[in-house]
Amino acid sequence: MRLKDKVALITGSSRGIGRAAALLFASEGARVVINYKKSKKEAEKVSSLISSESLVIGADVSLEADVKRLVKETISAFGRIDILVNNAGEIIRPGDWKMDVSVWKQTLDVNLTSAWLMIREVVPHMKKQGLGSIVNLTSTVGLLGVAPVLAYSCAKNGIVALTKAFAKELAPDIRVNGVAPSNVMTDMTLGAGQELIEFMKERTPLKRIAEPEELARAILFLASDEASYITGHTLVVDGGYSLK
């Protein structure tokens, strides 16, 4: 088991990529903290599927007070945090250049500020342990720039810079990496409609949309000791979409 006795805190893990990562991490021996913002029922369902020890904590990770409580409750329950996965995120529409200032600020808070807050709060505990691994979820829209989701693109590009900066700052004991998916078969993608899904399939060299489990495997690799000499890297998992 690649994560035996590790404690992994995964934000936004009641569904989608976070859910898949929580289930995979648990199968590899980790004790998992399942975080949710709204869907407590879904989070508890994930926990019920895990045979190893798990903990369900509701928190809005764009809020400093919630982040502090989330980390405090995790330490109280498990005594340590070995792995942090900053997965929580949301596309808020309309998010193009004509958006309201409130949408711009909310998008950055949910998708970028949240990761900074989580890292800032978790790192002191990782430093006490001496080792740690952080994986941040960014997106190919952050690498390419996509006008209809301008704010989201800017936030996700900020995650790439944040990953590199923290990798330098926290080395050699704490590794920090990123994963950049394109579209993934989550509620967010399904909610966009079949027309967009077919368009994305056509634009993707592998001619399909990724499954959440495929992203979870990439996250697991970077979080585990198999990636022990990798830090500051953003792994693109997009079926070749960004090659266009």
Given pLDDT bands bounded at 50, 70 and 90, which one contains residue 165?
A: very high
Return the active site residues. Answer: 152
Calpha distance 194→174 (Å, rounded): 41
User: Is the pLDDT score of 207 beyond 80?
Assistant: yes
User: Is the pLDDT score of 93 beyond 90?
Assistant: no
Pairwise pLDDT comparison (233 vs 192), residue with the higher score: 233
131-154 pLDDT, tens digit each? 999 999 999 999 999 999 999 999
Report the DSSP pairing between strands 7-10 and 31-36.
Answer: parallel
Calpha distance 175→46 (Å, rounded): 27
Q: Identify the DSSP state of 31.
A: E
pLDDT at residue 52, as a whole number: 83
User: Is the pLDDT score of 120 beyond 90?
Assistant: yes
Quick one: CA torsion of 222, 177, 34, 214, rounded to 10 degrees? -50
Given pLDDT bands bounded at 50, 70 and 90, which one contains residue 76?
A: very high
Q: Which domains does the chain have, with CATH numbers?
A: 7-181+212-236 (3.40.50.720)
User: Is the pLDDT score of 64 beyond 90?
Assistant: yes
pLDDT at residue 196, as a whole number: 82
pLDDT at residue 66, as a whole number: 98
Calpha distance 34→12 (Å, rounded): 7
User: Is the pLDDT score of 236 beyond 80?
Assistant: yes
Query: For 61-65, which contacts have Cβ atoms below 8 Å and span 24 or more sequence positions?
Result: 61/11, 61/12, 61/35, 61/37, 61/88, 61/114, 61/117, 61/118, 62/106, 62/109, 62/110, 62/113, 62/114, 62/117, 64/117
Q: Which amino acid is residue 201, in one-letter code?
A: K
Given pLDDT bands bounded at 50, 70 and 90, which one contains residue 88?
A: very high
pLDDT at residue 215, as a whole number: 98
Q: Which residues contact 204 (CB under 8 A, 6 or more apart)?
A: 182, 238, 239, 240, 241
